[in-house]
């Protein structure tokens, strides 16, 4: 059985008396220890999927099953999501600007609060060291460090509990190319060490290609194509996918001047 299994997921948003269907029956799965990419143009529904899995947005229809528990419907166990974590595009979605980073990172342990304070502190420090952050940063605020450092802190917070699933929603898109590469290297190492699975959302085809095993392509709330990264990016079947790939190469060329 897959770690995460999404069947026929739908989502309608209602705003100002109008209903907009953001997802039209999406099915996908992520196996344990597998790294699955989700790509597609802006507004195609990627974040909606991530937010439904993480419990930040409710589904309209369909089912989400995670690690043997049903996450959709009325009676979801509180603990069902304890082994999944999410990292966002903006570090301020992970950390309040008023909170010191040490405390913010330690919040990743809220489900393991029976751990003695001293052990929590030791784990925070060990994890900060592991992601390449100086321990002194415990007393800093997220606004006082660089974007790349802040994402390392968000990753530290997310991996404290050694999650089975890490959902990453555009976590590199605010960073420059060199910092992006470093962050992906860190994720690769952590994946090797901890063996977690990823749902990795990115519009950066190059990063998805270097990091993921399989990929789903989304357009207007529908998965239009899926496959292993190599075959999909080398031989896309859909014109839409081909255009996404070409657009990412154009972006690269512009960045490199």
Ligand X SMILES: Nc1ncnc2c1ncn2[C@@H]1O[C@H](COP(=O)(O)OP(=O)(O)O)[C@@H](O)[C@H]1O
How far is Cα 238 from Cα 224, in angstroms, rounded to an integer?
Answer: 8
44 binds, among ligand X, Mg ion, none (CB under 5 to 8 A by kind): ligand X
Per CB under 5 A, 44 contacts Mg ion: no
Q: Cβ 165 to ligand X, closest distance in Å?
A: 18
Q: Cβ 47 to Mg ion, closest distance in Å?
A: 3
Tell which positions 58-87 bind Mg ion, by CB under 5 A. Answer: none
Is there a contact between 101 and 95 (Cβ–Cβ < 8 Å)?
Answer: yes
Q: Cβ 18 to ligand X, closest distance in Å?
A: 9
> Based on CB atoms, which residue is closest to Mg ion, 47 or 180?
47
> Based on CB atoms, which residue is closest to ligand X, 14 or 113?
14
Contacts of 89 (CB under 8 A, 6+ apart): 169, 170, 171, 173, 174
15 binds, among ligand X, Mg ion, none (CB under 5 to 8 A by kind): ligand X
Report the residue closest to Mg ion, judged by CB. Answer: 47
How far is Cα 253 from Cα 243, in angstroms, rounded to an integer?
Answer: 15
Contacts of 37 (CB under 8 A, 6+ apart): 200, 201, 202, 208, 211, 212, 214, 215, 216, 229
> Based on CB atoms, which residue is closest to Mg ion, 170 or 225?
170
CA 60 to chain centre: 22
Helix/strand/coil for 5: strand
CA distances from 220 to 42, 200, 217, 255 (A): 9, 18, 10, 28
> Based on CB atoms, which residue is closest to Mg ion, 47 or 85?
47
Per CB under 5 A, 48 contacts Mg ion: no
CA 170 to chain centre: 7
Residues forming the site for ligand X (CB under 6 A): 13, 15, 20, 22, 40, 42-48
Q: Cβ 23 to ligand X, closest distance in Å?
A: 8
Binding range to Mg ion, per CB under 5 A, among 19-27, 46-54, 72-80, 149-157? 46-54
Per CB under 5 A, 47 contacts Mg ion: yes
Q: Cβ 168 to Mg ion, closest distance in Å?
A: 11
Q: Which run of H or E residues covers position 14?
A: strand 4-15
Q: Cβ 181 to Mg ion, closest distance in Å?
A: 22
């Amino acid at each position: 059985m897959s770690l995460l299994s999404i069947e026929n997921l739908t989502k309608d948003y209602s705003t100002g008396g109008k209903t907009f269907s953001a997802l039209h029956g999406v099915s996908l799965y992520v196996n344990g220890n597998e790294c699955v990419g989700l790509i597609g143009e802006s507004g195609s529904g990627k974040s909606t999927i991530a937010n439904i899995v993480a419990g930040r947005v409710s589904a309209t229809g369909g089912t989400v099953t995670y690690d043997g528990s049903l996450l959709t419907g009325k009676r979801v166990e509180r603990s069902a999501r304890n082994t999944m974590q999410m990292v966002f595009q903006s570090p301020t979605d992970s950390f309040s600007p008023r909170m010191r980073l040490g405390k913010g990172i330690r919040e990743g342990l809220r489900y393991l609060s029976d751990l003695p304070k001293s052990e929590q502190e030791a784990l925070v420090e060990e994890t900060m060291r592991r992601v390449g952050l100086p321990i002194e940063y415990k007393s800093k605020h997220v606004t006082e460090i660089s974007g790349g450092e802040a994402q390392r802190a968000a990753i530290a917070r997310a991996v404290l509990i050694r999650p089975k699933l890490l959902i990453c929603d555009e976590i590199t898109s605010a960073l420059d190319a060199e910092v992006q590469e470093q962050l992906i290297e860190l994720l690769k190492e952590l994946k090797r060490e901890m063996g977690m699975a990823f749902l990795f959302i990115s519009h950066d085809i190059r990063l998805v290609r270097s990091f993921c095993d399989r990929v789903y392509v989304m357009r207007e709330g529908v998965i239009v194509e899926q496959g292993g990264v190599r075959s999909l990016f080398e031989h896309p079947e859909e014109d839409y996918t081909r255009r996404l790939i070409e657009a990412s190469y154009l972006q690269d060329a512009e960045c490199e001047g």
